Structure 1
């Protein structure tokens, strides 16, 4: 049987549930205000690590972890909000860096491919055969190439931007957009997918500029950074997320070798690696260091920077100096 849906609760009732479960509320009016402005469900992702963890064994002797409704002793509503604010600042820092990375890579791709054909993004001959010629075997996209799917999305974006003056001008005068104009209607995901679909020598030329070992490695970075970008742009929880689109670990130095590529810090390190080349005079890294220093201190110790993936002594790493 389908369980009954959870009933609607007033903000006062929501707060009463949290207090009953052991969350300490030092300022009741402020807590009610946060529930009204941010929402119980969104905040629940931030108080989740403050809930007690039960560890048991199943019938096969395997460990089973389960979060209980009750909170760890000395957990405070204010700490949950502080964590939420920290995460918001972290997302904004990510978007700041990713915008610069996206703009730079757009120029690189457009400049390199535009020399071959001003409409290279629409020309299968300018791209890798696996991307532009190989037909997909399964799903709704069966018997289409990845390039055809990319072009469908491109034309959707182009249609949405058709009233933009620069788009309207080029379409009315020339009928098509040259690649250095077309990049302006791409999003990060489209940019990363087209880069992944480029011929290997073209990929490698751009990758060498950013210290990647190969075009394939840079394509991985961009796919992962697009995941971070989507999480950040959609206001989702970032600080302790399990990154699903992972890049391979780097072996550049001992610091890189100790990073966990499932945690966000690894990808902020990738951003900084790229930012040092794109914006060498930027103070973005200083703002990141300051934000890490401002990580919320909790009475219970339920959350730490380890959850972000931060490693010991990272401030001494040349990457962040």
Structure 2
């Protein structure tokens, strides 16, 4: 097991591998906020077989790459969230209006490739896994565990949406 390193030791490790660190205080601040291990993944493309970094590998450049990746990820997650919310809303609306509030419980409302028994198992699992969530408690108590599609769909994983 590796031993923990101080920020100073982490900086020395980066330097010993050939990383240029223009501003030690900035580097310490970054390491305090990001974590050496997370940041080390961004150094991997600059690493040689001898565990050194390529010439002119600069900490500030690696940090800018990390920041670009972080911001891009935030943009993508935001866009994916919008798509997912819209997909949930439209699937619930279509299915409820075609088959009724509990139509998802009837295997006849799905094509033959649909493994309805596994789908229902997964639904029961997500209900159980989320039993402390307020709307789950509400439907368990007030409606004896009956969840209309527009409610239960909020617990579905993205993979569960593929059953529709």
- Give the match for residue 303 of structure 1: none
- Give the match for residue 213 of structure 1: none
> In structure 2, what is the Cα distance between the partners aligned to 1:150 and 1:15?
51
> In structure 2, what is the Cα distance between the partners aligned to 1:68 and 1:150?
50
Tell me the number of residue pairs that the alignment of Structure 1 and Structure 2 aligns.
162
Structure 2 counterpart of 1:88, from 59, 70, 73: 70
SS in 1 for 2:51: strand
Do structure 1's residue 10 and structure 2's residue 18 form an aligned pair? no
Higher helix share: 2
Structure 2 counterpart of 1:186, from 148, 156, 162: 156
Larger Rg, first or second structure (1 or 2)? 2
- Stretch of structure 1 that moved more, 89-98 or 123-132: 123-132
Q: TM-score, normalised by structure 1?
A: 0.46
> In structure 2, what is the Cα distance between the partners aligned to 1:39 and 1:150?
40
* TM-aligned CA deviation for residue 163 of structure 1: 4.5
> In structure 1, what is the Cα distance between the partners aligned to 2:134 and 2:3?
50
Q: Tell me the C-alpha RMSD between the 2 structures.
A: 2.1
> In structure 1, what is the Cα distance between the partners aligned to 2:17 and 2:136?
56
Q: Which structure 1 segments of 5+ residues have no match? A: 53-66, 133-146, 196-321
> In structure 1, what is the Cα distance between the partners aligned to 2:50 and 2:65?
20
Equivalent positions of 1:233-244 (< 5 A) are none
> In structure 2, what is the Cα distance between the partners aligned to 1:88 and 1:148?
40
Equivalent positions of 1:105-184 (< 5 A) are 105-114=87-96, 115-132=98-115, 147-175=116-144, 176-184=146-154
Higher strand share: 1
In the superposition, relative to structure 1, how do residues 7 and 107 fare at CA in structure 2: closer, same or farther (>3 Å)?
A: same
In the superposition, relative to structure 1, how do residues 49 and 113 fare at CA in structure 2: closer, same or farther (>3 Å)?
A: same
> In structure 2, what is the Cα distance between the partners aligned to 1:70 and 1:177?
57
